[in-house]
Structure 1
Amino acid sequence: MPEQVEFGLDTFGDVTFDLEGRRLSHAETIRNAVEQAVLADSLGLDFFGVGEHHREEFAISAPEVVLAAIASRTERIHLGSAVTVLSSDDPVRVFQRFSELDAVSNGRAEVVLGRGSFIESFPLFGYDLAAYQELFDEKLELFAAIRDGGPITWTGRLRSPLEGQRIFPPIEGDRKLMTWVGVGGSPESVVRAARYGLPLMLAIIGGSPARFAPLSELYRKALAQFGHAPLPVGIHSPGHLAETDQQAKDEVWPNYRDLMNRIGRERGWGEATRSQFEGEAGPNGAMFAGAPETVAQKAARAIIAVGASRFDLKFSNGTLPHEWMLRSIRLYATEVVPRVRELLAERGYEPPAAIVPPIVGSSE
């Protein structure tokens, strides 16, 4: 049934300007992110994700703190990271922080683990970039063991071993912390998620979503080979909603351009152009910017192409004003999501694996 598909929102806490052109502080941006999540909850969306970054353009470096504040003001929406950079963190502490978030939110916590597309956290926390891949491999192995529960006995190369260690607090009830692995397009990362039996979140930020279909198929085959039952696949993509396609694109383009060019200068990319942006915002690109009907049609195609169980719109794009983002959230929740459900029903779409809601109970 189409209701098995969930719809969420992601933000990196991009530091924004207000409608008068004043740059907001990092603190103001964080408070606005909380208000955005409160609105998303009131409109019935399924998930609100907060990304971790350690650079000037983004205000949120400790997602769990912001998510705990959101949990205190919301009732049903699930709350998670987008992503948590596990490579430069400690798996024990990550689990503890999200277990506590799960407790204060009454079972609504999720975590998306990834290597991260930015590297600022490595020197900041004293990690060697030369071990970029090995750090994630080893820490994901440990996190998966912790998530399974019980005393942990584990030995790795880059972290001190654990011998019969119990991790507190545990997740409440007879369940596990909902844990996704965020992937940007690497087949090796897809197979790694399958090996540990963790749901897959595809970061589709460029090119056609359909080109990720082989990765989701690889994931499902790998799950079967590792002896796991089918698990959900999610989509994370940028977007912006307005009353018309032109308005949405005209609003998001200069903000998106400035952010991409700033990052591009660090990474040796060429300057972003409007024609490239128009291609990404077109029917076959990864930018979901437009009027509700345009975005709904595009989202339905992407969900079907990869066999997704969740679609998360990354609604923060550079310095977009808070007021525009609130409008985008409203249009997404009240017009896009119902229309996507209609389109999926018309096409007889059922996701290969549904997201099973948690059952919170006593752990005694």
Structure 2
Amino acid sequence: MELGISTFVETTPDPITGEVISHAQRIREVVEEIVLADQVGLDVFGVGEHHREDFAASSPAMLLAAAASQTKRIRLTSAVTVLSSADPVRVFQDFATLDAISNGRAEIMAGRGSFIESFPLFGFDLKDYDELFEENLELLLKIRESEKVTWRGGHRPAIYNLGVYPRPVQDPLPVWIGSGGNAESVVRAGMLGLPLVLAIIGGSPEHFKPLVKLYKRAASRAGHDVSKLPVASHSHGFIAETTEVAADKFFPSTQYVMNKLGRERGWGRYERATFDAARSFDGALYVGDPDTVAAKIIHLRKNVGITRFMIHIPVGTMPHDDVMNAIELFGKEVAPKVREAVEKWEADEGNLG
């Protein structure tokens, strides 16, 4: 069971003070957060690509590279790379470079992304949303498979027997598929034999169990060894010494972000009752003291089949010290509890089998 952190490098106004920190400051803070996550023994840190004022991570590979030389073992991934509006050649080169700096710890998490600002920014038409992703994923995997590439698609100039460099330390460079729960994307990941990441940010995590089964069934039918295909999840959360403190600290920034996005997308208003329901044991928010959060992750592993869990800290702008404390608690207190429980459960399952 792998455990890690994800962030979008938010720079929303502080919900208490109204202060807006600079992109530069928040980027430097995230590098410190990655270094701490490595020091406390977490397995992976992910940075999500966005192209808007309230998120500072338009270039995850560069930000991760800044932390790579200061870390030793933590894996470094995008979360996600918006592959529909990216050049697959450049994506591969960036992450192969990150792989070299980190000595084999880079990963790409490829997805469509739920934000669309990158399309007009880079000159793409939203009507090609799905087709662009399929073509770019095909090219990315072809580059991963072979140093010299010949490829033709409908949206990018063709490549004729050209080399793509540098080549990564890892062979192959890990490519995950990120999905918000779309059955088609889950089946595609399974058929390609690629690891799957599910964004579980609402409803009950147990409702994603059928999607995990669908993914594994598609992988098996395509001839892939399902036992070697990890399934990850990404959920919002926060950890403090007590559950009450965690909830009270995490709610204001979460409410701000959810209501801002809600106004853009036509959602209903996000209130404390919604938040409290989502942090119940069956909900998708992993907010609480170390015991509470550990118990929810263990339940997720046993009942949904998740083998990597990434907690998204913070949602919106929170004090850097609070974020660092949450990461430390996650690595030093939550992770050991989860790993011990999962190891024991898997050993018991093996004995029963």
Give the TM-score band, short-chain normalised: over 0.9
Q: Aligned match of 1:39 in 36, 39, 50?
A: 36
RMSD: 1.8
Structure-2 change in CA distance of 1:349 and 1:31 (3 Å): farther
Q: Aligned match of 2:128 in 113, 131, 138?
A: 131
Q: Distance in 2 between matches of 1:192 and 1:280?
A: 29
Q: Does 1 or 2 have the higher relative contact order (CA < 8 Å, sep 6+)?
A: 1
Which residue pairs with 1:319 in the alignment? 317
Which residue pairs with 1:189 in the alignment? 185
Structure-2 change in CA distance of 1:330 and 1:201 (3 Å): same
Q: Which runs of 5+ in 2 are unaligned?
A: none
The alignment partner of 2:346 has SS state of coil
From the two aligned structures, give the one with the greater helix fraction.
2
Q: Displacement of 1:159 after TM fit?
A: 1.4
Structure-2 change in CA distance of 1:350 and 1:102 (3 Å): farther
Which residue pairs with 2:69 in the alignment? 72
Q: Distance in 2 between matches of 1:31 and 1:253?
A: 24
The alignment partner of 2:77 has SS state of strand
Q: Does 1:7 align with 2:3?
A: yes
Q: Displacement of 1:144 after TM fit?
A: 1.3
Q: Aligned match of 1:164 in 151, 161, 164?
A: 161
Q: Aligned match of 1:226 in 216, 222, 226?
A: 222
Post-superposition CA distance 1:23-82 (Å, at most 9, x none): 311110000000001111111111111111111111111111111100121111111101
Which residue pairs with 2:275 in the alignment? 277
Q: Distance in 1 between matches of 2:217 and 2:145?
A: 23
The alignment partner of 1:289 has SS state of strand
Q: Which runs of 5+ in 1 are unaligned?
A: 353-364
Assess if the C-alpha contact under 8 Å between 2:15 and 2:256 holds in 1.
no
Q: Displacement of 1:330 after TM fit?
A: 0.7
Q: Distance in 2 between matches of 1:202 and 1:325?
A: 23
How many aligned residue pairs are there? 347
Q: Displacement of 1:246 after TM fit?
A: 1.2
Q: Distance in 2 between matches of 1:106 and 1:18?
A: 39
Which residue pairs with 2:308 in the alignment? 310
Code of the residue aligned with 1:47 in structure 2: it is V
Q: Aligned match of 2:93 in 74, 96, 102?
A: 96
Q: Distance in 2 between matches of 1:149 and 1:48?
A: 27
Q: Distance in 2 between matches of 1:309 and 1:148?
A: 25
Q: Distance in 1 between matches of 2:245 and 2:10?
A: 21
Q: Distance in 2 between matches of 1:216 and 1:242?
A: 30
The alignment partner of 2:89 has SS state of helix
Assess if the C-alpha contact under 8 Å between 1:99 and 1:171 holds in 2.
yes
Assess if the C-alpha contact under 8 Å between 2:15 and 2:252 holds in 1.
no
Assess if the C-alpha contact under 8 Å between 1:99 and 1:177 holds in 2.
yes
Q: Does 1:213 align with 2:209?
A: yes
Which residue pairs with 1:298 in the alignment? 296
Assess if the C-alpha contact under 8 Å between 2:294 and 2:335 holds in 1.
yes
Q: Distance in 1 between matches of 2:48 and 2:145?
A: 25
Structure-2 change in CA distance of 1:221 and 1:330 (3 Å): same
| Percent identity (aligned) | 50
Could you tell me the TM-score, scaled by structure 1's length? 0.92
Assess if the C-alpha contact under 8 Å between 1:264 and 1:271 holds in 2.
yes
Trace 1:339-354 onto structure 2 (pairs within 5 A). Answer: 339-348=337-346
Q: Displacement of 1:347 after TM fit?
A: 2.7
Q: Distance in 1 between matches of 2:241 and 2:225?
A: 42
Q: Distance in 2 between matches of 1:143 and 1:64?
A: 16
Q: Distance in 2 between matches of 1:319 and 1:273?
A: 18
The alignment partner of 1:243 has SS state of coil
Code of the residue aligned with 1:13 in structure 2: it is V
Q: Distance in 2 between matches of 1:68 and 1:18?
A: 30
Assess if the C-alpha contact under 8 Å between 1:18 and 1:321 holds in 2.
no
Which residue pairs with 2:151 in the alignment? 154
Code of the residue aligned with 1:123 in structure 2: it is P
Code of the residue aligned with 1:211 in structure 2: it is H
Q: Distance in 2 between matches of 1:170 and 1:345?
A: 35
Q: Displacement of 1:343 after TM fit?
A: 2.3
Code of the residue aligned with 1:14 in structure 2: it is E
Q: Does 1:242 align with 2:240?
A: yes
Code of the residue aligned with 1:150 in structure 2: it is E
